[in-house]
Amino acid sequence: MRPDWNQYFMDIAELVKTRSTCLRRQVGAVIVKDKRILTTGYNGAPSGMRHCLELGGCLREQMKVPSGERHELCRALHAEQNAIIQAAYHGISIQGGTMYVTLQPCSLCAKMAVNAGIEKIVFKGSYPDELSMAILQEAGIELVLYKD
């Protein structure tokens, strides 16, 4: 059976996340406009830098930091951040776009999505960050919880 657009783009986000180098959680993001893929991103260390596995493990795991807290201790960029950065790097406007992401965005990614002009976010799974949802709702970004 032919997938609808949401399933199609979410399936691609699921594939993108397989490139993740994060030891805690793999996340993939796809930014789309007019049913065309503009950028993708997955969570991992900045380009050319060593990944946590190469450094002996995840610092946040070693410090027993709960999920959704102390993002500044993580070497990785989030999938949403990488997708937005890729657009900027290549001079692609994502204003008015839709972001498909395999996990609810955190508050940092929510703020970036707002300022990047993302109009809709389709996401799977919840993340323990209530502020992110409040930010996205206040900004008027359409939120769609994707269900398989």
Active site annotation includes 69: no
Distance between CA atoms of 100 and 124, rounded to whole angstroms?
Answer: 9
What does residue 36 show for φ and ψ, rounded to 5 degrees? -125, 135
Catalytic residue among 80, 119, 138, 142: 80
8 Å CB contact between 57 and 65: no
DSSP string, 40-58: EEE-BSPTTSPPGGGGTS-
Question: Would you name the residues annotated as active-site residues?
Answer: 80
